[in-house]
C-alpha cells in the first residue's frame, strides 16, 4: 500500500499510528478534513485480517464522517479511529488510557466516541486522560450510548424513504429485512415493531437474533439468506460493503435504509440501485443520529434538543431525493453534492481573516 498515494487520492489531512507495547494498543487515527471544525468520529475495535485492512477501514470511515457531519449540518470535520484487536478479549484499562493520551496530544483536532466494538465504559476510560471524547456516561452530564439515538434517526430516515417509494411514510404492514440486530438495530426494530411492521432478521450472534424474536415477533433467516428475502425494505445494520456484485441482483426490496456505514462496496453499486429504481437512503445521512447526539455534548448536552435535531434526518433524506430527481443523479451522489457544497462554501468564507477563530469546542476542562 502506498500510503501517501492513498492520502492524496481523497485529500486526507493526517494519519496517525499509535502504539503502546505494555497495554497492547495498536490504533490508527485517520483525520480526513477539518474545514468545518475538529474531526469527530468513533473508535472501532475489530480483529482485522491485516494492518493494511485496518488502515483502509480507518481511511474510508474517516472520509464518511466528513460527509456525515457536513450533511448533518454540524460544525465538525471527519475522522475515525480503528483499534486492532478483539473487543471481547483484548481490552484493558491501560489500553484506553494510553489511547486517550494520544488523543489529548492532538489537542482537539480529533474527538472520539463509540463505534463497533467500543462502549460507554471504554469512553469513560479515555475521558480519564482527555476531554476530547464524547458518548461518555450520563453521570458526567453526557449523552451515553449513541446507539438508541442512531436507531431513532434510522427510523425517521426509513419513513422518509418509504414516503418516496410508496407515497406514504407509514411502515405498518411493511416487511422489513434487517441484517444484524445489534445495538442500533435492536432499538430500531422496537420502533418498527410498534408501528406494525413485519420483521425478518438475521445475525451471526444467536443471542441477538433470539432477543429480536422474543421482543418483536421477528422471523429469522440464515445470514447468507437475508439478501433473498421477499421484502419491502432491506435494512443493513451490520458491516459495510454489503451492496456488492454478489448481492445487488439478489435484493428483492424497493427501499434500502439501514445504519451500517459504507454500505455500497463501490460507487457503481449506487448507480445500479438508481437504474433499478431502488430507493436508497444514503448511509451516512440516515445513520447520523449518533453523531448529532454526541456532538450536542460539545454545547452542554440537552437530550430534547438532540432528538429534535435527529428528527431532521427525515427532511434531509427527502431533500436528497429531491436533488436526485432534479439533477438526475443517484441518491448517494446527491448526498455527496449536498455535503461538498456546504464544505466548499464554508471553505471560501474562511478567506476572511480573523485574529482569533471562534472556538467551536465548548468542552469543560477536567
Ligand X SMILES: NC(=O)C1=CN([C@@H]2O[C@H](COP(=O)(O)OP(=O)(O)OC[C@H]3O[C@@H](n4cnc5c(N)ncnc54)[C@H](O)[C@@H]3O)[C@@H](O)[C@H]2O)C=CC1
For ligand COI, the closer CB: 14 or 166: 14
Q: In the complex, which residues of this chain contact ligand COI (CB under 6 A)?
A: 41-42, 68, 113-115, 135, 146, 150, 261, 287, 290-291, 294
Three-class SS of residue 264? strand
Between 175 and 287, whose beta carbon lies closer to ligand COI?
Answer: 287
**223 touches which of ligand COI, ligand X, none (CB within 5 to 8 A by kind)?**
ligand X
80 is known as an active-site residue: yes
Binding to ligand X in span 268-287, by CB under 6 A = 287
Residue 334 CA to residue 63 CA, distance in Å, equals 16
Q: Of ligand X, ligand COI, none, which one sits near residue 294, judging by CB under 5 to 8 A according to partner kind?
A: ligand COI
Q: Are strands 39-40 and 77-84 parallel, antiparallel or unpaired?
A: parallel
Cβ atoms of residues 243 and 269 within 8 Å: yes
Cα–Cα dist 170/233, whole Å: 12
In the set 26, 63, 68, 80, the catalytic residue is 80
The dihedrals phi and psi of 118, each to the nearest 5 degrees, come to -125, 155
**Segment lying near ligand X (by CB under 6 A), choices 16-24, 173-181, 212-220, 335-343:** 173-181
Measured between alpha carbons, how far is 245 from 236 in angstroms, rounded to an integer?
16
Q: Does 150 bind ligand X (CB under 6 A)?
A: yes
Phi then psi dihedrals of residue 279, to 5 deg: -85, 110
CA dihedral in degrees (62, 310, 254, 225; nearest 10)? 60
> Is 241 a known ligand-binding residue?
no
When CB distances are held under 5 to 8 angstroms depending on the partner's kind, the choice from ligand X, ligand COI, none that residue 232 binds is none
Residue 232 lies near ligand X (rule: CB under 6 A): no
Q: Which residues contact 69 (CB under 8 A, 6 or more apart)?
A: 36, 37, 40, 76, 77, 78, 288, 291, 295
Q: Buried (b) or exposed (e) across 219-258, using 16+ Cβ within 10 A?
A: ebbeeeebbebebbbbbbbbebbbbeeebbeebebbbbbb
Under the criterion CB under 6 A, does residue 144 sit at the interface with ligand X?
no
Helix axes 183-194, 147-166, angle to 10 degrees: 50
- Considering only 37, 77, 146, 157, the residue that binds ligand X (CB under 6 A) is 146
Inter-residue contact 362 to 299 (CB < 8 Å): yes
Is 185 labelled a binding residue? Answer: yes
113 binds, among ligand COI, ligand X, none (CB under 5 to 8 A by kind): ligand COI
CB of 195 to ligand COI, least distance (A): 24
Which of ligand COI, ligand X, none binds 41 (CB below 5-8 Å, type-dependent)?
A: ligand COI
| Active site amino acids | 80
- Specify binding-site residues for NAD(+): 180-185
Residues near ligand X (CB under 6 A) are: 115-116, 146-147, 150, 179-185, 202-205, 208, 223, 237-239, 259-261, 287, 290
Amino acid at each position: 500500500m502506498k500510503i501517501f498515494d492513498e492520502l492524496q487520492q481523497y485529500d486526507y489531512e493526517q494519519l496517525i499510528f499509535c502504539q503502546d507495547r505494555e497495554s497492547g494498543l495498536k490504533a490508527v487515527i485517520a483525520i480526513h478534513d477539518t474545514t468545518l471544525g475538529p474531526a469527530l468520529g468513533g473508535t472501532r475495535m475489530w480483529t482485522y485480517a491485516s494492518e493494511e485492512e485496518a488502515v483502509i477501514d480507518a481511511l474510508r470511515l474517516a472520509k464518511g464522517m466528513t460527509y456525515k457531519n457536513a450533511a448533518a449540518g454540524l460544525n465538525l470535520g471527519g475522522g475515525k479511529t480503528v483499534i486492532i484487536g478483539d473487543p471481547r478479549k483484548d481490552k484493558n484499562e491501560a489500553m484506553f488510557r494510553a489511547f486517550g493520551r494520544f488523543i489529548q496530544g492532538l489537542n482537539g483536532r480529533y474527538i472520539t466516541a463509540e463505534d463497533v466494538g467500543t462502549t460507554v465504559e471504554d469512553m469513560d476510560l479515555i475521558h480519564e486522560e482527555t476531554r476530547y471524547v464524547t458518548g461518555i456516561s450520563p453521570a458526567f452530564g453526557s449523552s451515553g450510548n449513541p446507539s438508541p439515538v442512531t436507531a431513532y434517526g434510522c427510523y425517521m430516515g426509513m419513513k422518509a424513504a418509504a414516503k418516496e417509494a410508496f407515497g406514504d411514510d407509514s411502515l405498518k404492514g411493511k416487511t422489513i429485512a434487517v441484517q444484524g440486530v445489534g445495538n442500533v438495530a435492536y432499538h430500531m426494530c422496537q420502533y418498527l415493531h410498534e408501528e406494525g411492521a413485519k420483521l425478518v432478521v438475521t445475525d451471526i450472534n444467536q443471542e441477538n437474533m433470539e432477543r429480536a424474536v422474543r421482543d418483536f415477533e421477528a422471523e429469522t433467516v440464515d445470514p447468507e439468506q437475508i439478501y433473498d428475502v421477499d421484502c419491502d425494505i432491506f435494512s443493513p445494520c451490520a458491516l459495510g460493503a454489503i451492496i456488492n456484485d454478489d448481492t445487488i441482483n439478489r435484493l428483492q426490496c424497493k427501499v434500502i435504509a439501514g445504519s451500517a456505514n459504507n454500505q455500497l462496496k463501490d460507487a457503481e453499486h449506487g448507480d445500479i440501485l438508481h437504474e433499478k429504481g431502488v430507493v436508497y437512503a444514503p448511509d451516512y445521512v440516515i445513520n447520523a443520529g449518533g453523531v448529532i447526539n454526541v456532538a450536542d455534548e460539545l454545547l452542554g448536552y440537552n437530550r430534547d434538543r438532540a432528538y429534535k435535531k435527529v428528527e431532521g434526518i427525515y427532511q434531509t433524506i427527502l431533500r436528497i431525493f429531491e436533488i436526485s430527481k432534479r439533477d438526475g443523479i443517484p441518491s448517494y451522489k446527491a448526498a455527496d453534492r449536498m455535503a461538498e457544497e456546504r464544505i466548499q462554501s464554508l471553505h471560501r468564507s474562511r478567506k476572511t481573516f480573523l485574529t482569533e477563530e471562534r472556538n467551536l469546542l465548548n468542552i469543560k476542562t477536567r
